[in-house]
Structure 1
């Protein structure tokens, strides 16, 4: 459901009692958590019970499973997830009563007001970059407030109220939410066409990022990874408009430049030259070149906020990851199971590079679930090509989320494009059929990887259990 952003956005403390429709989702649960920390009366509903709902109840929220008009009886403001249908009874009741109805973006802006905001945008890497910056700032003594699209391993939560003046927010572009925020520091990891169900064309998607530049506060800065063509083009546009830009990456054009990249097992290291010419060492406990680039974006933002490189780097060196971003779910008999959120061809390529580093002499076995019919229609063949970096691939049926099925666009479109031998690729419409097949194929030293933005994540613990039952 698309909800217009009001012309005047009130701070969270002035919204009265706030009810969230879809409170269990990553975006709304983060905002609810922050509002609770500020003493706002919070309630919410979701389609099913989740650990997130239980956690919010412990913090003082009133939550329900299912949707009913009666749930908004005491609300002054309704916050609605984009996944909610227009005929949702709580939405209809709020409209009937003339309540204030806000989209997720406006609700997040309400809790960011009055802070020094860092908004982390980009097609890929937003969650990891936001998380890296958060832990880096914590190590530097900033104690920022943060809202991330995933759970930090260090804290186990996706949002936390800090005592400092800095607010670090993941700025989602999928529905245009990032065009509501007004950051002091805007971070763009990369710009590569996605969410064409919303934008329609690649040109419109890129244009949205150019509009994002207009949201940067006077005297603010853009930190962009200039290794990425889309982000490099955006940086050039920003400079033409008079916005200060800090470019990061491995390219010669970077102001904050990495070299001597080393990917060894579950670690990544690089030498980094700071804008002043000083050389420092970046060390991460997560593998993959794409994570090094994310860390450079985080480092650039932290430096722009006025914090010292050694403390920021120390914080990132202790970063243990974010849930569903190359997350280790188990190691049974030398067979490791990882889970990751990658659902775009570029993300798949990056995570398979990381998996290859993790596997060493072993193999990489992947089960991939395409996400959204519209995305699979646009990028299905490219997804298949990217999966070709694995040794064995299982492709599930599309996770529909907010869309209806299309018999012409299925997971078979992806499977058919994987450039491996026919017996190395299997289209498996039923996820329940995958664990036994993967475990039967696995050997000691192999990495088993579950990939996708849908419920494929539920296969990871089942794979661990299947390995244990097989006596691995």
Structure 2
């Protein structure tokens, strides 16, 4: 596929260019030859990676950062109307482009795979990107997280396939027209934009209706919301539906998942034959993600056995049960989980890894300790009780204050909602309002053989290296 740049995006300016979704699009445009610029609230490794591609990244938001020759301004739903660069664009008549429209433009002329669902999008997109790359297909991809290898969230490839996450949070996935779509699960989340499951179903139905004629929908045969959605879209003409999962009626059926420490061995029934392959991350939910990726690759014509072997090349995504290191016999793992379903899945996976570990110091006396940072006031208001119940799976938890991200505080909504629910569920849970105190708190709790899980979608991820350093210093 020859490099192309939409005519209005040859000199784009990104507001919030350091974000996972925004930086990926900026990278692809830069790799295609666009003169890309942008700003972000703080400097980061992502900003440095963009600068290495020739992108002009400025720190802080200021109208003066918007170049005179900018052809458009790219924003995400997180950018507020009062942003000075956005206001300057309006004053100067510079077109404002939503991130999803920019991504949709980049997918023109390709064979897109769009990965949707309430959970698991980043992992599944990454699995496809890694396996298709390993097969020499050189796909383009845009992922909401950095791969362990090659260490990037985006790439402009020379092949015809484009793999991208399809975000339902703000309905922006309605902008895409994929040849193959994956829907991993359908649950109520993003409460600022969806008031009910009916609204969620309507939104996902619209997404399915965007699949190209003759295209394929890969969807879970096990998750209740996905099963309901399948029943609603069965009659869409020209749509091939492939169900995947452990249910008897699944078109691509998982017959066995064996967890072996921090990996899993997965067996599927495909065209009457058993196919077994390795997934290099633990947990049943990651095995399901891998099988969905397998089904999508098959739908694009990739040989199943080749793709299954290539999936073993996937080594993980940063912040998705990412091992940050070990000190004083304690492993520290980082998890992006922030919805109760994700929290439960990751905790079950880690508990299974402890039980099946080959590490001699990990045994029946080993514990899983969690540092959890709730993400968004609205999510905590709606799902705080379920978050607390999920923490009951840990041996002990410390809960931080709510990370607000793009939201203003909601009166009466604090981490206490989670603490109370966790306590009622029998969890050993405490609260800590001072994030800087966490390394000392964990150093006082952890024993050799324990696993510490930093969990949440905010800046709790920064604590992993600090915890390791504190553990090392007391050893």
Q: TM-score range by the shorter chain?
A: over 0.9
Q: What secondary structure does 1:164 align onto?
A: coil
Equivalent residue for 1:385? 389
Contact 2:392 2:426 in 1 (8 A): no
Equivalent residue for 1:179? 174
Does residue 1:271 correspond to 2:267, yes or no? yes
Equivalent residue for 2:369? 365
Distance 1:313 1:354 in 2: 22
Map 1:212-291 → 2, pairs under 5 A: 212-242=207-237, 243-274=239-270, 276-291=271-286
Pick from 105, 121, 126 the counterpart of residue 110 of structure 1. Answer: 105
Structure 1 residue 89: deviation in Å? 1.3
Pick from 54, 64, 86 the counterpart of residue 60 of structure 1. Answer: 54
Structure 1 residue 433: deviation in Å? 2.2
Map 1:141-220 → 2, pairs under 5 A: 141-220=136-215
Pick from 299, 302, 320 the counterpart of residue 297 of structure 2. Answer: 302
* Greater mean deviation of Cα atoms: 80-89 or 155-164: 80-89
Distance 2:257 2:88 in 1: 56
Q: How many residues align?
A: 461
Distance 1:335 1:53 in 2: 32
Equivalent residue for 1:130? 125
Map 1:340-379 → 2, pairs under 5 A: 340-360=335-355, 361=363, 362-379=366-383
Q: Structure 1 pair 11/235, CA: closer, same or farther in 2 (3 Å)?
A: farther
Distance 1:139 1:121 in 2: 23
Q: What secondary structure does 1:198 align onto?
A: coil
Structure 1 residue 202: deviation in Å? 2.5
Equivalent residue for 2:310? 315
Structure 1 residue 419: deviation in Å? 4.8
Q: What secondary structure does 1:319 align onto?
A: coil
Does residue 1:27 correspond to 2:21, yes or no? yes
Distance 2:267 2:423 in 1: 35
Contact 2:27 2:50 in 1 (8 A): yes
Structure 1 residue 235: deviation in Å? 1.8
Equivalent residue for 2:63? 69
Q: Structure 1 pair 443/420, CA: closer, same or farther in 2 (3 Å)?
A: farther
Structure 1 residue 334: deviation in Å? 2.1
Q: What secondary structure does 2:332 align onto?
A: strand
Write out per-residue CA displacement over residues 214-273 of structure 1, whole angstroms, 9 at most, x where no aligned residue: 110111110011111111122222222232100001111211111121112101112111
Q: Structure 1 pair 145/239, CA: closer, same or farther in 2 (3 Å)?
A: same
Distance 1:104 1:421 in 2: 41
Structure 1 residue 199: deviation in Å? 1.6
Structure 1 residue 92: deviation in Å? 0.9
Structure 1 residue 333: deviation in Å? 2.8
Structure 1 residue 424: deviation in Å? 1.9
Does residue 1:43 correspond to 2:37, yes or no? yes
Contact 1:140 1:307 in 2 (8 A): no
Distance 2:166 2:134 in 1: 23
Distance 2:399 2:286 in 1: 25
Structure 1 residue 96: deviation in Å? 1.2
Contact 2:259 2:353 in 1 (8 A): no
RMSD: 1.4
Structure 1 residue 12: deviation in Å? 2.6
Equivalent residue for 1:101? 96
Distance 1:103 1:43 in 2: 16
Structure 1 residue 384: deviation in Å? 0.6
Q: What secondary structure does 2:422 align onto?
A: coil
Contact 1:136 1:311 in 2 (8 A): no
Equivalent residue for 1:414? 418
Distance 1:392 1:339 in 2: 16
Does residue 1:15 correspond to 2:9, yes or no? yes
- Structure 2 residue runs of 5 or longer lacking an equivalent are 356-362
Pick from 399, 404, 413 the counterpart of residue 403 of structure 2. Answer: 399
